[in-house]
Amino acid sequence: MTFAATVFIGTSLDGYIARSNDDIEWLTSRGEKAGDLGFFAFLDSVDAVIMGRNTYDKVIGFGEENWHYGDRHVGVLSTTLPEDADPRVTVYRDLDTLVADLDQRGIKHVYPDGGRLVQSFIRAGRVDRFIISVAPVLIGSGHRLFGELHDDVPLRLDGVADLGHGFAQLTYTVER
């Protein structure tokens, strides 16, 4: 058995997910006006959330009241986070171990979160769907959503939505 993975993420119009210093205020301040952009309905559809170390650190920095993952499985892919750092998460050292554990747990729908983690999932052919909320701003530099790829990743556009306050949401399925 294998799981489906959906990337749900916000970007600037020029394709950045964070500034070089990891700041995302340009997104959160605009996003507050637009609401949750469908995030909580999406989160209800997933069995597991997997994030990279930088994303985990950012989420922890938002405070306990912003830990929105409930009792679903949460994993952090990291070579540096101590395995006992947080009783709410399972720390994975590599993608193969992560995938095997999710399959063993019977996970059906995964939310990979974090730039480098998403790029790793894409390169490994583990992303099935993208939901990208595009913020009405150009930030010029920072961390890009998409990194270098070995091969093209063909996509089918499933939907475009005007979320208000200048946000557009693009939904794509990866064609296999």
Per-residue pLDDT at 43 exceeds 70: yes
Q: What domain range is 76 assigned to?
A: 4-145
The arithmetic mean of pLDDT across residues 50-69, rounded, is 89
CATH number, domain with residue 98? 3.40.430.10
Q: What is the number of domains present in the chain? A: 1
Is 169 part of any domain? Answer: no
What DSSP state is assigned to residue 62? T
- Nearest residue to 90 via CA among 115, 108, 72, 68: 72
Alpha helices per DSSP H over 62-150: 95-105, 115-123
> What digits encode the pLDDT tens for the residues 8-38?
999 999 999 999 998 999 998 887 777 788 9
Q: Tell me the two tokens of residue 104.
A: 């063993």
pLDDT 10s digits, 85-143: 999 999 999 999 999 999 999 999 999 999 999 999 999 999 999 999 999 999 999 99
Tell me whether residue 66 is in a domain.
Answer: yes
Averaged over 79-84, what is the pLDDT? 95
Determine, yes or no, domain membership for 158: no
Q: How many Cβ atoms are within 10 Å of 172's Cβ, its own excluded?
A: 19
174 located within any domain: no
Structural domain contains residue 122: yes
pTM summary value: 0.93
Percent of the residues in the chain that have a pLDDT greater than 70, as a whole number = 99
